[in-house]
Amino acid sequence: MKITGFEVFEVEPRWIFIRIDTDEGISGWGEMISGTKTRAVVAGAKEMAKRIIDRNPFEIERIYIDLFRTFFRSGPINTTIVSGIEMALWDIKGKYFGVPVYELLGGAVRDKIKVYSWIGGDRPEDVAAEAQDRFDRGFTAVKMNATEELHYIDSYKKIDAVVQRVASIRERLGYDMEIGVDFHGRVHKPMAKVLAKELEQFKPMFLEEVVLPENEEAFKEIAQHVATPLATGERLNSRWDFKNIFKEGVIDVIQPDVALVGGILETRKIAAMAEMHDMAVAPHAPYGPIALAATLQVDASTPNVFIQEQSLGIHYNKGFDLLDFVNNKDIFQYKDGYVDLPNKPGLGLELNEDLIAEISKEELYWRNPLWKNYDGTFAEW
């Protein structure tokens, strides 16, 4: 089998898909992250994909090495492109052999995958009602953003507002609902210590990105103030970025992103290293259907994954949900807070290719919101 061609699709609200075709009529799909550099990712994907024309799509590791190990390696643009191509190759291989990708990764280690639902939280809102809604729909875990903008040193009034929001969920649902609290890297070390300690009384499932990953040395200091599990990893873009995390041993939950770290096999390798260090895995996957489907393949074959992020039901600026582009919508049907293991070949997706092609005619523009502190200084979002 040989790779004969490819096509890149810009899909609202913020997704970039790639389809790789072969001479035997089998095509595979991958997904890349747009961020604020959509044009760079699209152009880079087209340039990289040309390099694998006439290659054997089964040689996934060999192609990964060829694409990743350039002189200027790593970086989020390069690695998300490699990730999308790598996913598509696994999709081809699974379809050819008629099995889900996880069967090629050693097989299933579980019967189902626990998922959590996102409920907002950074702006004043009734998160208790949101959590109740998810509980009524069968979820037993949610994740919320902790806070809006916080300066290096800020008002305890803002800290108290966060405490009250988390407390409202505990008061309504008790410990029948697990709560992940995401600092989203928007909290600096001085206030992160305060906020983490104040939230410990509610026994969160984990505290995520209590500081930005470039300030990872602060994880150790914050861990000395709380016993709550700390999580990070969604912005790290290769297994080498995780080396210090494993070495320090302070983080309890890593969150690699299959669309950023190099693809399915790279995510599996990172999870295996985490298992060696007795760390849990909760993969980052807030994007489209292809990235989520690829992540579920990793989850199925990875024993230290304990929960999965997903964004089903979140409608963005154009009103699209990830299910709008999927024909076999049952692949993402959740029951009692779990999703069944995928059972169709490859990534398990049957995509609405006509809709993808139609939406892709419009140029994609996505940028993250720009936040400012009360004094006009830039704030992390």
Is residue 134 predicted with pLDDT exceeding 70?
Answer: yes
Q: Return d(Cα 165, Cα 125) in angstroms, integer.
A: 8
Q: Return d(Cα 346, Cα 88) in angstroms, integer.
A: 9
Predicted local confidence at residue 316, as pLDDT: 54
What own/partner pairs with CB < 8 Å and gap ≥ 24 does 102-109 have?
Answer: 102/297, 102/298, 102/300, 102/301, 102/341, 102/342, 105/264, 105/265, 105/268, 105/297, 105/298, 105/301, 106/301, 107/301, 108/300, 108/301, 108/341, 109/300, 109/301, 109/302, 109/303
User: Per residue in 221-280, pLDDT tens?
Assistant: 999 999 999 999 999 999 999 999 999 999 999 999 999 999 999 999 999 999 999 999
Average pLDDT of span 199-222: 96
Position of tokens 């995780």? 242
User: Per residue in 21-73, pLDDT tens?
Assistant: 999 999 999 999 987 688 899 999 999 999 999 999 999 999 999 999 888 77
Predicted local confidence at residue 318, as pLDDT: 57
Asked about 284 being catalytic, the answer comes back as: yes
Mean pLDDT over all residues of the chain? 93
Quote the pTM value: 0.95
Predicted local confidence at residue 74, as pLDDT: 81
Q: Which of 184, 225, 277, 315 is catalytic?
A: 184
Question: Of 122-126, 166-170, 191-195, 298-302, which range is least confident?
Answer: 122-126
Contact, 219 vs 242, CB < 8 A?
no
Could you tell me whether strands 112-118 and 338-340 are parallel, antiparallel, or unpaired per DSSP bridges? antiparallel
Predicted local confidence at residue 367, as pLDDT: 74
Average pLDDT of span 355-369: 84
Can you list the positions of beta strands (E) in the chain? Answer: 3-11, 15-22, 27-33, 112-118, 141-145, 178-182, 206-208, 230-232, 253-254, 280-281, 308-309, 334-335, 338-340, 371-372, 378-379
Could you tell me whether strands 112-118 and 308-309 are parallel, antiparallel, or unpaired per DSSP bridges? parallel
pLDDT range class, residue 364, cuts 50, 70, 90:
confident
Q: Which of 151, 188, 225, 284 is catalytic?
A: 284
Contact, 180 vs 116, CB < 8 A?
yes
Is residue 161 predicted with pLDDT exceeding 80?
Answer: yes
Cβ neighbours, 10 Å, residue 330: 9
Position of tokens 């081809």? 92
Cβ neighbours, 10 Å, residue 321: 16
Written as six digits, the tokens of 276 are 């060696």
Q: Return d(Cα 82, Cα 103) in angstroms, integer.
A: 22
Is residue 368 predicted with pLDDT exceeding 80?
Answer: no
Written as six digits, the tokens of 77 are 């643009």
